[in-house]
Structure 1
Amino acid sequence: MDHSEPATDQTVEEDERDTGQPATLAEVLLAVEELWPESLAEDWDAVGLVVGRPANPVQKILFAVDPTLEVVQEALDWGADLLISHHPLMLRGVTSVAATSGKGKVVHALIEGGCALLAVHTNGDSAVGGVSDVIADALGLEEVKPLQAARHGLPEEGIGRIGELPQAMQLGDFAALVFSVLPAVAGGVKVAGDRQGLVRRIAVCGGAGDSLLSAVQAANADVYLTADLRHHPASEAREGRPDGRPYLIDFSHFASEWLWLPAAAEALGNVLGDQGFDVELRVSQVNTDPWDFILTPGMA
């Protein structure tokens, strides 16, 4: 993969079926609930249907990390009836959806374009086959289990994952492996730890996961992969043990969650196909990582 190019270079084939009938939005919502139950969402989260009439037909579904205006335009240009985004549009309360604000513009564009919006966030993280499971699979981890068990789920459901590499490898080589499986974004991968240190027990959490550092330490992980690591939690984690473990790898929030989209689209396509519905699914190719470039020592 050429990491000088944005994540939009990664493509996913559409799931097209020649038989069956369109699903209604209500029927798609039932399929989504089967895969990513809302009961698995964290209490602070805002998942579920944001825009859309349950009785409306759905023939095209676009998956994306963020419901930005550019993504919405991509959905409308393709003729999507439903946009499924990982991040909620209305995570924090609003008092208006007037088209004078960013969120209001998104809501107006969706309604005027006849496209529904559904958020699958921490329920998509926690479910089997969720964001962290996909990262663990991409890294070849074995004996994978949740880092923090779900309060209202099965033993294999929960936030984050921890597992073992087939064999130990140096931290620098493992970081290179992480870099190789991610879609290309400006931020790259940041690493804290001994480059030659051997690692095998790996904790991962797609998206922002420094709130799980205590669980990572309790699980005796050699290294922890997550996004948006803040200065003080990262510093305290590094100083918490004399050997400096767990080592830390900070990757792009967007890139870590984009990896889940093709697997999610395939899973939903399989459920709808098994039910006899004719629905096309596509993964957004819009790079919604907020950073455009980065300067490091030695760069002009």
Structure 2
Amino acid sequence: MPFFHPVANVQQFLNILERIAPASLAAGWDNVGLLVGSPQSRVSAVLVALDSTQTLLAEAQALAAELIITHHPAIFQPVHRLRTDQPGGAFLAAALRAGISVIGCHTNFDAACGGVNDSLAEALGLVDAVPLTADKADASCGMGRIGTLPEPLAAEDFLARLRAAVPLPWLLEAGPRPAAVVKAAVCGGSGSELAETALAAGADVLLTAEVKHHAARWAEEAGLWLLDGGHFATENPSMRCLQQHLAERARQAGLDVRIHCADQRPPLKLVPQDFFRA
């Protein structure tokens, strides 16, 4: 039986996150780690979520959670002014007033083993998945994943597997559908810049989100089947994985802390078909 500490603090969760998703894996342009609060602040409950919103803060207060961990950082660009009448500033001010610390765990969790992209690859049943672009210090980590399906699937059957595995609000496609999908690549969130890398690695399909026009046109010409499943849908399921990682690590460390995961909804919705028939 592990010995449970009566009081945990933010620093202990920073240490745990460093083992789950080291900050060194984060992209140079990213902003991860403790963004609001003090490392010494006590923590009895944690709330994990994709996005920092006022609704999330209200949920944290209802759960008496003193720590929020979001995938998308609450502070991303440099802050030149703190306007509390605007969403970003309002969130930060409210977190400070409530005494809630906020940690960002973004591209480091994208790249980490067991992170966003491993979760997506596992959901699709990919075998022997490896990063599309390996980290220089740890080749087992990196952006995107490419792996092999247990058996070749027709394009329509691959779509059926995708529909069952990932809660997609929509699906866009570019490029030709292959006769069979043997190798599949994934990159949760905005990852269409990896299309050329995926094709060069032998991928029959790349699932990602926020596909740019020029990337879609390139896929059409180059012969890569490119799928856009939406940013939220390709990343949010991995928040449950982060919750599980945190809970297990906290248990191993003897921390008596409740770990919750927010039930967020995608900000983008499809316009009803009636609109197009009007």
Q: TM (normalized to structure 2)?
A: 0.94
Where structure 2 has 5 or more consecutive residues not aligned to the other structure, the ranges are: none
The equivalent of 2:158 in structure 1 is 174
Deviations 1:184-229 (A, max 9, x none): 53xx112235557211100000000011112112101000000000
* 1:283 is aligned to 2:261: yes
Shift in Å, 1:19: 4.9
Shift in Å, 1:20: 4.2
Deviations 1:118-171 (A, max 9, x none): 0000000111001010011111100110000113x3111000000000011111
Alignment counterpart, residue 247 of structure 1, candidates 225, 241, 255: 225
Shift in Å, 1:53: 1.2
Greater relative CO (CA pairs within 8 A, separation 6+): 1
Percent sequence identity over matched residues? 35
Pairs aligned (count):
276
Alignment counterpart, residue 141 of structure 2, candidates 146, 153, 157: 157
Alignment counterpart, residue 294 of structure 1, candidates 259, 271, 277: 271
Assess, with a 3 A threshold, how the Cα gap between structure 1 residues 297 and 180 changes in structure 2: closer, same or farther: farther
The equivalent of 1:78 in structure 2 is 63
Which secondary structure does the structure 2 equivalent of 1:286 belong to?
coil
* Conservation of the 8 A alpha-carbon contact between 2:7 and 2:42: yes
The AA in structure 2 aligned to 1:159 is M
Structure-2 separation of matches of 1:70 and 1:44: 27
* 1:100 is aligned to 2:82: no
* Conservation of the 8 A alpha-carbon contact between 1:175 and 1:191: no
The AA in structure 2 aligned to 1:64 is A
Structure-2 separation of matches of 1:143 and 1:215: 18
Shift in Å, 1:295: 4.6
Structure-2 separation of matches of 1:199 and 1:296: 31
* Conservation of the 8 A alpha-carbon contact between 1:18 and 1:278: no
Structure-1 separation of matches of 2:257 and 2:233: 26
Q: 1:150-299 to 2 correspondence within 5 Å?
A: 150-151=135-136, 153-183=137-167, 185=169, 188-195=170-177, 197-240=179-222, 244=223, 246-287=224-265, 289-295=266-272
Shift in Å, 1:179: 2.1
* 1:66 is aligned to 2:51: yes
Which secondary structure does the structure 2 equivalent of 1:206 belong to?
strand
Structure-2 separation of matches of 1:140 and 1:98: 45
Assess, with a 3 A threshold, how the Cα gap between structure 1 residues 184 and 18 changes in structure 2: closer, same or farther: farther
The equivalent of 1:12 in structure 2 is none
Assess, with a 3 A threshold, how the Cα gap between structure 1 residues 141 and 119 changes in structure 2: closer, same or farther: same
Structure-2 separation of matches of 1:184 and 1:74: 25
* 1:121 is aligned to 2:106: yes
Shift in Å, 1:97: 1.8
Structure-1 separation of matches of 2:220 and 2:274: 23
Shift in Å, 1:88: 1.1
Q: TM (normalized to structure 1)?
A: 0.87
User: Which range is displaced more, 176-185 or 91-100?
Assistant: 176-185
Which secondary structure does the structure 2 equivalent of 1:155 belong to?
coil
Structure-2 separation of matches of 1:214 and 1:195: 17
Q: CA RMSD in A?
A: 1.9
User: Which range is displaced more, 91-100 or 250-259?
Assistant: 91-100
Shift in Å, 1:235: 0.7
Shift in Å, 1:259: 1.2
